[in-house]
Amino acid sequence: MRILGVIFDLDGVILSTDEYHYLAWLDMAKKENIYFDREINERLRGVSRMDSLEIVLERSTKKYSQEEKIKLCEYKNNKYRALLEKLSPKDIFPGATDFLKFLLYKKIKIAIGSSSKNAKYILKKIELYDMFDGHISDGTNITKSKPDPEVFTKAAEMLKINPCNCLVIEDAYAGIEAAKKGGMIAMGIGSAKDCSLCDLRADDISSIDKSIFE
Ligand code: BG6
Ligand code: MG
């Protein structure tokens, strides 16, 4: 296993915007009188906005038109964006910036592989945007959401590295599945640690064993 590039999921890996996604969906669900809890929220990790809405609507008895669904996605995204507004470098998980610097020092390339259309906005807010040198594959350049490997395959192409030499770091089951489908090495952190498809595991970004990069 030779790791030449690392592709990071963003929400829940570099910072806890996953919690903001939860709060924004909870707000939307309450407005529509739909039951929603943290267990359902786990299924939304790594999944696109519209696919996430479809999961939330499973608990609704009402049938929504496509137009209404788009409006609900907009509502959720506005709530989410309001929560993102106060983001700053202080929100980066402990050890994440040092880990990115360590990889660059080791000449290991880094990229983002996130389903989010807000990824670039978030990276700018937390002042990590420049570190990725334009290697940002996100919700704006993909047609298929995780567990499809597209977002990671595109990130590997940006890095010009063979997928088998790319390590994907993910907190979502859907993301681990996507990485394996794309022929990459998959590391599960946080919630994804229990996924049987993981090649590697760590509690969080600060506890990754650096000897795997030797
Ligand atoms: C992923 C999150 O990173 O982005 C999902 O894990 C989210 O929960 C998806 O639905 C899409 O995000 P956005 O910001 O485009 O609504
Ligand atoms: Mg995530």
Question: What is the CATH classification number for the domain harbouring 73?
Answer: 1.10.150.240
Say whether both 123 and 154 belong to one domain. yes
Of 84, 102, 121, the residue at which a domain comes to its end is: 84
61 CA from centroid of ligand 1 (Å): 25
Say whether both 57 and 110 belong to one domain. no
Say whether both 60 and 93 belong to one domain. no
47 CA from centroid of ligand 1 (Å): 6
What's the pLDDT tens digit per position in 121-176?
999 999 999 999 999 999 999 999 999 999 999 999 999 999 999 999 999 999 99
Per-residue DSSP letter, 139: T
Of 58, 84, 110, the residue at which a domain comes to its end is: 84
Chain-centre distance of CA 65, in angstroms? 28
**163 cis-preceded (ω within 30 degrees of 0):** no
Ligand 1 contact, 109 CB (< 6 A) = no
Please state the pTM of the whole predicted model. 0.96
Least distant ligand from the CA of 169: 2
CA distances to 44, 54, 68 from 29, in Å:
14, 12, 14
Structure tokens at 53: 């809405």
Structure tokens at 80: 């989410």
Residue ranges making up the domain that contains 31: 18-84
